[in-house]
Amino acid sequence: MPLVTMRQLLDEAAAGGYGVAAFNVNNLEQIQGIMEAAQETQSPVIVQASRGARKYAGDHFLYHMMLAAAETYPDIPVALHQDHGNSPQTCKSAIELGFTSVMMDGSLGEDAKTPLSFEDNVSVTKEVVDMAHAVGVTVEGELGTLGGMEDGVGSGEICLTDPAQAEEFVERTGVDALAVAIGTSHGAYKFSREPDGDILAMEIIEDIHRRLPDTHIVMHGSSSVPADIVERVKAAGGEVDAGFGVPISAIQRGIEHGVRKVNIDTDGRLAITAFMREHFRDEPDDWDPRGPGKAARAGQKFICMQRMQELGMAGHAGDYEPLSLAQMTERYAAGVRSTV
């Protein structure tokens, strides 16, 4: 199966009432772990790469690893997504490379740190929507800013999304999916205590979904930072400054109110770290890089299988035939967005 558009994955998720995890990748072992988990659970999946990941792996290495993943697992619908594009040029380069979905994060400037005005966000996002839809590629936008910093992205401050502005933003830009700020943060340290309604503003998602029932909502910074994985890292000699993550119950509540894409990065990093540290603890004389590589792959697979079950995406890989980019181009040109 070729790489598919994120629009179709999210449309099908909306029809089926589940969420789709978007896992960040930087290397072969992460891609393999994600795809093995998707195969075993029969889940559609979004694989996403940040600008930092593209620089680390190399654009062509990363893209061709994803082509190999699609060829190896032909029954799994998988979208390749540019995470936190900081400019139209970044999105353009991803589209030209073969990404089937891009995020234009116009909530921040090109430095990925300085907040942009609402009007500037609308302008830059609309530019990317016009460019991407002309070739069938999905676009995610963002309104509001998350806390924390990860992979060089983040203002360090939380600015919650205004539901009324979200309505105007979607109407003026035509984005397929909207990332919203509800109090989550990038990185392992999200909250100093179990988040409640004073910390995690789930009512914002519910309000936006009432206003925009046909727009797919995205939760960024949605790693749960599982305590058992953190303890495994520490037991194997690691040090992790981690607080509380986003509870699975909060993500599931979001899915009930229009959340279709759930970004998960930190949980994968923690699981990989735990499994690799345990490998070296138990096999201190191992100098073959395949040993820790297999451990890393197993860690990524472990956490992905959990999230695929918890988000309800398991069992939905064979629900539909994928549309090509050419077919999506025709649909966008005709003003038809939904693929179901």
Segment 71-130, tens digit of pLDDT: 999 999 999 999 999 999 999 999 999 999 999 999 999 998 899 999 999 999 999 999
pLDDT at 164: 96
Q: CA 295, CA 255: separation in Å to the nearest integer?
A: 31
pLDDT at 16: 98
Catalytic option among 11, 59, 75, 83 = 83
pLDDT at 152: 54
Q: CA 204, CA 172: separation in Å to the nearest integer?
A: 20
Angle between helices 163-173 and 202-211 (to 10 degrees): 50
| Cross-strand bridge partners of residue 180 | 143, 219
Q: For the chain, percent helix, then strand, then coil, each to nearest 5? A: 45, 15, 40
Classify domain 6-333 by CATH number.
Answer: 3.20.20.70
For 270-308, the DSSP string reads: HHHHHHHHHHHHH-TT---THHHHHHHHHHHHHHHHHHH
Task: Tell me whether residue 151 is one of the annotated catalytic residues.
Answer: no
pLDDT at 194: 81
Which residues fall within 8 angstroms of residue 294, CB to CB, at 6 or more apart? 29, 279
Angle made by CA atoms 46, 50, 51, in degrees to the nearest 5: 145
Q: CA 145, CA 290: separation in Å to the nearest integer?
A: 39
> For the chain, which ranges sit under pLDDT 50?
149, 155
For residue 167, what are its two tokens? 């309505």
pLDDT at 146: 75
Which residues fall within 8 angstroms of residue 79, CB to CB, at 6 or more apart? 3, 4, 5, 6, 9, 45, 46, 47, 100, 101, 138
pTM of the model: 0.94
pLDDT at 188: 77
* Sequence spans of domains, the chain: 6-333
198-238 pLDDT per residue, tens: 778 999 999 999 999 999 999 999 999 999 999 999 999 99
For residue 210, what are its two tokens? 């009432």
pLDDT at 198: 73
pLDDT at 241: 87
pLDDT at 147: 65
Q: Which of 112, 30, 328, 79 is nearest to 218 (CA)?
A: 79
For residue 97, what are its two tokens? 């490379």
